[in-house]
């Protein structure tokens, strides 16, 4: 095992809990990760000692708050190999996708243009563009998913061939299938057909689990969210090429994002501040910076290695379990640690309830991927997702719950 998981777990207060007299087994980090003490401490430090607003004060507290906030920008930029001027803080990844949909797509695309998306997207990286397409009259094109849970890149090449795709939005890692997409290859394919096309990648499920280098990926913009990477809720980011941000219009307007305001109108602040209207999430930024340091100290290569090793164990055990069908790639080299599966004859909500009785937290439902679920012909799945604080000890309660669920429900007609 790459980490001393038992020691690492002690850093997460929630993981010390018991549920119904049982040890908490947290297998839902793809929905939200747990928060380590260092992140809680960073937020508390701001609230206890430095609470004040950013960018406006000339006194000590305001300088400390500004340093904490801007320090988070530098931390995110360092983590993903970006220019800090390209890091725009948002409320979450959903808002990051909306920011580029409003700031660029809606301004640039119109009738005759096309936007490439994929069937495997989370709603956050699909609906903002569908909505824009309805209003602006451009065409949405979707890359299909193959039987083994991969993007069909031959189909993608055909979808971009006429050169009308001016924007591509796709995920780095699927939250439902676990698939790790070949971002450089897809970006190259899009640009081969239209060198000016913008490539937007949803990195929400990648940043907490893999080394990410935006230059190597070839993405123009990249969305991430704090709460899945050990950080607080209420903060995410759109990380983009500053030159692209310069070409974007603000999404929200008001205080802080202006250079000057007269009764006749306003001019905009520099990037990235032009996209951060109003008082930003300061405590959350302080927490996010601590989360980045925590992740860096673990080492993103080691995080990935831990997940590959543990994922192989979980995948092998689940595939060997009677009635379990694992969705998505079966080889950990091609996937992350979010493992969706169906249990024959048992509705996923019943599986979730039986597991909850055993202190096991999994996600059940459509995972905000309704179009993908429709294509796959399933209404809902169970998803067990791994992170650094999971180990083999978490497997047994999961398997035990699955066999209990089968004993209780299979044949009840609820599936």
Ligand X SMILES: Cc1ncc(COP(=O)(O)O)c(C=O)c1O
- Residue numbers at the binding site for ligand X (CB under 6 A): 92-94, 122, 124-125, 171, 175, 202, 204-205, 225, 236, 368
Q: Which is nearer to ligand X, 9 or 387 (CB)?
A: 387
Three state DSSP letters for 106-175? HHHCCCCCEEEEECCCCHHHCHHHHHHHHHHCCEEEEECECCCCCECHHHHHHHHCCCCEEEEEEECECC
**How far is the C-alpha of 291 from the C-alpha of 332, rounded, in Å?**
25
Least Å distance, CB 226 to ligand X, is 8
Length of the chain, please?
Answer: 415
Confirm whether 117 is a catalytic residue. no
**Spatial separation of the C-alpha atoms in residues 309 and 110, rounded to whole Å:** 46
356 C-beta neighbours (distance < 10 Å), count:
15
Find all residues with CB under 8 Å of 262, minimum gap 6, and list them.
none
Name the DSSP letter for residue 219.
-
> Which residue, 128 or 397, has its beta carbon nearer to ligand X?
128
Between residues 122 and 387, which has the closer beta carbon with respect to ligand X?
122
Mention every residue, 6+ apart, whose C-beta is less than 8 A from residue 243: none
CB of 280 to ligand X, least distance (A): 16
Q: Radius of gyration over alpha carbons of the chain, in Å?
A: 22
Residue 344 tokens read as 């024959």
Least distance CB 204 / ligand X (angstroms): 4
Residue matched to tokens 């019943």: 350
Active-site position among 97, 117, 368, 369? 368
Q: Using alpha carbons only, what angle is made at residue 126 by residues 138 and 382, rounded to the nearest 5 degrees?
A: 155
Tell me the DSSP string of 255-319: SSSEEEEETTEEEEPSTTGGG--SS--HHHHHHHHHHHHHHHHH-HHHHHHHHHHHHHHHHHHHH
For residue 297, cis peptide bond before it (omega within 30 degrees of 0) = no
Residue 250 is given by DSSP the state P
- 201 within 8 A of 171, measured Cβ to Cβ: yes
Instruction: For helices 282-298 and 37-45, give the axis angle rounded to 10 degrees.
Output: 150
State the Cα–Cα distance between residues 366 and 360, nearest whole angstrom: 19
Measured from the CB atom, the residue of 118 and 175 that comes closer to ligand X is: 175
In the block, which residue shows the tokens 């950080």?
Answer: 231
In the three-class reduction of DSSP (H, G, I as helix; E, B as strand; rest coil), residue 363 is classed as: strand
Catalytic positions, please?
368
């Amino acid at each position: 095992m790459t980490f001393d998981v038992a020691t690492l777990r002690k850093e997460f207060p929630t993981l010390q809990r018991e549920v119904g007299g049982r040890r908490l087994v947290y297998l839902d980090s793809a929905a939200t990760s747990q928060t380590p003490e260092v992140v809680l401490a960073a937020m508390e430090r701001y609230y206890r000692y430095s609470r004040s607003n950013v960018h406006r004060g000339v006194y000590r507290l305001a300088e400390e708050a500004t340093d904490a906030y801007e320090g988070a920008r530098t931390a995110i930029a360092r983590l993903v190999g970006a220019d800090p001027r390209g890091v725009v803080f948002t409320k979450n990844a959903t808002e990051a996708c909306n920011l580029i949909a409003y700031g660029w797509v809606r301004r640039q695309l119109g009738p005759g243009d096309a936007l490439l998306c994929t069937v495997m997207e989370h709603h956050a990286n699909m609906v903002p563009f569908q909505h824009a397409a309805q209003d602006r009259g451009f065409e949405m094109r979707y890359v299909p998913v193959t039987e083994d849970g991969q993007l069909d890149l031959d189909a993608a090449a055909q979808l971009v061939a006429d050169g009308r795709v001016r924007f591509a939005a796709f995920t780095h890692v699927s939250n439902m299938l676990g698939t790790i997409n070949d971002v450089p290859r897809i970006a190259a394919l899009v640009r081969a057909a239209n060198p000016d096309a913008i490539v937007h990648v949803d990195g929400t499920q990648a940043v907490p689990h893999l080394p990410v280098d935006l230059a190597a990926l070839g993405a123009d913009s990249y969305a991430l969210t704090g709460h899945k990477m050990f950080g607080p809720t209420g903060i995410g980011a759109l990380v983009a090429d500053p030159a692209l941000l310069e070409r974007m219009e603000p999404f929200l307007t008001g205080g802080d994002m202006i250079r000057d305001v007269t009764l006749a109108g306003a001019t905009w602040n520099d990037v990235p501040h032009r996209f951060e209207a109003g008082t930003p999430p300061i405590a959350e930024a302080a927490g996010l910076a601590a989360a980045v340091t925590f992740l860096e100290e673990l080492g993103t290569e080691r995080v990935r290695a831990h997940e590959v090793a543990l994922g192989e164990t979980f995948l092998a055990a689940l595939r060997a379990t009677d009635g379990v069908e694992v969705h998505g790639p079966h080889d950990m080299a091609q996937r992350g640690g979010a493992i969706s599966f169906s249990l024959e004859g048992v509705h996923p909500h019943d599986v979730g309830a039986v597991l909850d009785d055993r202190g096991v937290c999994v996600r059940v439902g459509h995972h905000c991927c309704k179009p993908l679920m429709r294509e796959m012909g399933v209404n809902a799945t169970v998803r067990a997702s791994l992170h650094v604080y999971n180990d083999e000890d978490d497997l047994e309660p999961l398997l035990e719950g699955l066999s209990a669920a089968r004993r209780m429900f299979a044949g009840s007609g609820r599936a």
